[in-house]
Chain A
Amino acid sequence: MAGIPVANTFPRLLQANAEHSGNLPAYREKEFGIWQTWTWSEVNEAVRFLALGLRSLGLERGDRFAIIGDNRPPLYWSFTAGQSIGAIPVPCYQDSVADEIAYVCEHAGVRVAVVEDQEQVDKLIEVRDRLPELRAIVYTDPRGLERYDEVEGLVGVETVVEAGRGLHGRDPEDYEREVARGRPTDIAAILYTSGTTGRPKGVLLTHTNLIEPARRAVKFDDLTRRDEVLAYLPMAWVGDFVFSIAQCQIAGFCVNCPESPETVLTDLREIGPTYFFAPPRIFENMLTSLMVRMENAALVKRRLFAFFLGVAQRVGCDILDGKRVHPLQRLLYAVGNLLIYAPLRDVLGLGRIRVAYTAGEAIGPDVFRFFRSLGINLKQLYGQTEASVYVTIQADTEARADTVGSRFPGVEVRIQDQEVQFRGDGVFQGYYRDEAATAKTMTEDGFVRTGDAGYFDEAGHLRIVDRSKDVGALTDGTLFAPKFIENKLKFHAWIREAVAFGHERDMVCCMINIDLEAVGDWAERRGIAYSGYADLARQEEVYELVRGAIGDVNADLAKDPALRGSQIRRFLILHKELDADDGELTRTRKVRRTVIGQNYGELVEALYSGRDSCRVAAEVTFEDGRRGTIEADVKIWDVDAAAPMAAAA
């Protein structure tokens, strides 16, 4: 593509941008209420001085240095500055506590830390005795640091830049020589995975690893220097590196940094990005707050909104997918676009979106369809730090809620023992100083084990069903993916939590926690009296409601040849809400299937013994910390399996 510089290290990419489009905006940041802009040539100059300045602090080729803070232009520049002199950036999560930062910095043996502000400086000072190799702490925001003059090695970024400027004045070729020494096969960054289990691992990625897949993604979505992104996700996350550094430099688009983490939504509206990434929960929150605001709107507006939302739900996705739609519906949608969808997109800050992605977790199909039906090109991708993000991706016409797309260009993906494995030029070089973990993750033929179980459907789209270790099988050998089924159940408004059983059993059964707010509201509107959760949960009408929801999930499962056999055949509604205080949920509200299986052993047996009710006594922790028991009769209902043909109709 014309204008896209072909360079194979990050410092060279930056130089090429400064040459080709020196006067175009590269970074923006809102400061004192105004968006300040830096052009590519300004950034190039800043990076050059910062690089030489960092070297004068004792940062040498091959050394590691930490970067900690919110998304700020000078922190982004420090990545490339360090890379120019052959040092390796190690970004840390800015909201980590001191101990976590100490672990990463100690493990990586960082010599210098470039940090945002007093908050991060304080953390480093707190753990400094664990970091004997740390020579200097460079801060970008001096606020509150006036009283820190006695801290050894603490220096403001301006001072470092000035030192670099002096060095450049004495030897103008110095920087170019440093950049020329860089090889595409050098390590460009060590990205520590946040690690839900155990200590974080440092993923080694080269310039080639990060640049080549990012270059293909730029081509895939036709990103150009006219695109705009808002950089608001953690800088330590591989996605931000790829979107806000790699693709920014490859496509030459401008990266906008929010004023503060609290102002992201306002900044989103002001910038109106064309290329956007957000995890599912952000889209879910947007939808919820929108619905709450509409509830409080005037009746006319509410009616209008409901009507056109109906139109969008019927035809919006098809129009976006380029499918044939009846001309009358198309006209109605155009009117809706004028009156509702366009203003709505604008309010959400998504008015100019060309390409938006979500990844990381399963997104609710309703949420996904809602955004697409409004004309927002939201798609999914599946990736990992170990892949420099990209494993699979959805093209514009194949965006679906329940898959994560097809193979990303240049990546091989295979399913081995139900596990997704991939190979390509984005594949990492190993975990830093952890050969055992590297050996466990890499296969002998160069594939990476993702630890995720999945399969390709008929259309060649990857479906992720669960973590491999959680996937089991029914006695007849049918694949049983509990989290996949539970997620499908939880996407229903009535169901708050679900626990599926089936491994080494002859069928799938599940326990349900109803959503007290949603079902309670539903019951009130129908004049069903209830005294509390336990009472509501045992009502016949509620069982009927939940059976309907499970029927939908079964119909969904029936469409899928691999999962058809794992439809839910029996269920019960638990007499109490699962609670983290009782050890049934983790603090992040993930169900602990084994704990629940033990606590409610009688119920599990009753599910599989064909009985239609079971008397239980459960130990509970009350709000005030006292412990007590609840006794109840729990009903067990059967559900019909959906036939594959009926589901297809």
Chain B
Amino acid sequence: MKREIGGGRPIAELENIHLSFGGLQALQDVSVAVKPRERLAIIGPNGAGKSSLFNIISGIYTPSSGTIRHKGEVRPSRMRPYEVARLGIARTFQNIALFSGMTALDNIMTGRNSLMRRGVLGEALQLPWARRQEIEHRRRAEEIIDFLEIPSVRRTPVGELPYGMQKRVELGRALAAEPELLLLDEPMAGMNLEEKEDMCRFILDVNEIHGTTLILVEHDMGVVMDISDRVAVFDYGRKIADSAPDDVRRDQAVIDAYLGTAHEH
């Protein structure tokens, strides 16, 4: 099955972004764009600015200067994370950020938050529309549980789950928001080979079946080279390369900065 990467305007576009914390330049003049249905990987050494970039897209940080566009429209310079979530952008975190005392199911249900209509009274009185809404959200959560093959831990508090499973639940919560753009911060970190293979399969299925656009930060080069359409390389807050995986692999600047195999011949 040949996958169509959408042409035309990018779903998210960052232009000349600067970000600094006091005197520290976290991002310098960064421009990067991702097209609908594309799989973009971002790599770079620690402190290169990868997570900062995610935090800017998801509204946690506000850039010092530069423009962010969403589907061609300029985003307000300040947006709260929940406002970003309503644009159809969801993310996972480098260090798992789940509610560890809550079950896998409840954690995934929290991902539906941005799609729930408000109405405390209706919920409290269990009015028909509130119940219909609850059932619909639960159905979607169950579809995700089925998709990620985690029904056996549905009722288990996530704090009791092994690490690889927690990563899966976190992906589930991000998917629950039905995002158009999904930001994955090191989805494979700390996993064994089998868990990585499973995770790759889920990520590819999300992209291919649901057409979700992906940006992932990942250190496992095998994974990056296998699953991404394009790789953007960061170093000291700058983007130093941005092209197809094979080209990036041969790029001397990238080798020097990151892959660290400059002197092999």
Residues of chain A in range 259-279 having any CB-CB distance to chain B below 8 Å: 259-260, 262-263, 266
Task: State A155–B98 Cα separation when bound (angstroms).
Answer: 41
Q: Shortest CB–CB separation between residue A267 and chain B, in angstroms?
A: 10
Is B120 among interface residues, defined by CB-CB distance under 8 A?
Answer: no
Given A146-B1, A146-B209, A147-B1, answer yes or no on A33-B152 (Cβ-Cβ < 8 Å): no
Task: State A147–B209 Cα separation when bound (angstroms).
Answer: 11
Q: Note all chain B residues with C-beta closer than 8 A to A34.
A: 142
Q: Are A263 and B1 in contact (CB under 8 A)?
A: no
Chain A: which residue is nearest B152 at the CB level? A262
Task: State A133–B151 Cα separation when bound (angstroms).
Answer: 38
The 5 closest A-B pairs by CB, nearest first: A262-B152, A32-B142, A263-B152, A33-B142, A147-B1
Residues of chain A in range 500-538 having any CB-CB distance to chain B below 8 Å: none
Q: Are A263 and B151 in contact (CB under 8 A)?
A: yes
Task: State A262–B209 Cα separation when bound (angstroms).
Answer: 26
Q: Note all chain B residues with C-beta closer than 8 A to A31.
A: 146
Is B123 among interface residues, defined by CB-CB distance under 8 A?
Answer: no
Q: Shortest CB–CB separation between residue B236 and chain A, in angstroms?
A: 42
Q: Note all chain B residues with C-beta closer than 8 A to A260.
A: 149, 151-152
Q: Shortest CB–CB separation between residue B200 and chain A, in angstroms?
A: 14
Q: For chain B, what secondary structure do more than half of its interface residues adopt (helix, strand, loop), or is it mixed?
A: helix
Is B155 among interface residues, defined by CB-CB distance under 8 A?
Answer: yes
Residues of chain A in range 78-106 having any CB-CB distance to chain B below 8 Å: none
Is B145 among interface residues, defined by CB-CB distance under 8 A?
Answer: yes
CB within 8 Å of A: which residues of B? 1, 105, 138-139, 142-143, 145-146, 149, 151-152, 154-155, 209
Task: State A191–B106 Cα separation when bound (angstroms).
Answer: 44
Chain A: which residue is nearest B156 at the CB level? A266
Beyond known contacts A32-B145, A33-B151, A262-B151: 9 more, CB 8 A cutoff: A30-B151, A31-B146, A32-B139, A32-B143, A33-B138, A259-B151, A260-B149, A263-B152, A266-B152
Q: Note all chain B residues with C-beta closer than 8 A to A33.
A: 105, 138, 142, 145, 151, 154
Q: Note all chain B residues with C-beta closer than 8 A to A262.
A: 151-152
Interface size class of A (residues with CB under 8 A): 10 to 19
Chain A: which residue is nearest B205 at the CB level? A144
Q: Are B209 and A32 in contact (CB under 8 A)?
A: no
Task: State A153–B265 Cα separation when bound (angstroms).
Answer: 53
Residue from B105, B146, B155, B209 having most chain A Cβ neighbours under 10 A: B146
Q: Shortest CB–CB separation between residue B25 and chain A, in angstroms?
A: 46
Q: Shortest CB–CB separation between residue A512 and chain B, in angstroms?
A: 37
Q: Note all chain A residues with C-beta closer than 8 A to B149.
A: 260
Q: Note all chain B residues with C-beta closer than 8 A to A30.
A: 151
Task: State A34–B155 Cα separation when bound (angstroms).
Answer: 13
Q: Note all chain B residues with C-beta closer than 8 A to A266.
A: 152, 155
Task: State A31–B138 Cα separation when bound (angstroms).
Answer: 13
Pairs across A and B, CB under 8 Å, 27 listed = A30-B151, A31-B146, A32-B139, A32-B142, A32-B143, A32-B145, A32-B146, A33-B105, A33-B138, A33-B142, A33-B145, A33-B151, A33-B154, A34-B142, A146-B209, A147-B1, A259-B151, A259-B152, A260-B149, A260-B151, A260-B152, A262-B151, A262-B152, A263-B151, A263-B152, A266-B152, A266-B155
Q: Shortest CB–CB separation between residue A263 and chain B, in angstroms?
A: 5
Q: Shortest CB–CB separation between residue A407 and chain B, in angstroms?
A: 42
Chain A: which residue is nearest B155 at the CB level? A266
Q: Shortest CB–CB separation between residue B87 and chain A, in angstroms?
A: 28
Q: Shortest CB–CB separation between residue A409 and chain B, in angstroms?
A: 40
Q: Shortest CB–CB separation between residue A148 and chain B, in angstroms?
A: 10
Task: State A218–B156 Cα separation when bound (angstroms).
Answer: 38
Task: State A266–B1 Cα separation when bound (angstroms).
Answer: 38
Residue from A31, A32, A34, A147 having most chain B Cβ neighbours under 10 A: A32
Residue from A34, A147, A266 having most chain B Cβ neighbours under 10 A: A266
Q: Shortest CB–CB separation between residue B141 and chain A, in angstroms?
A: 8
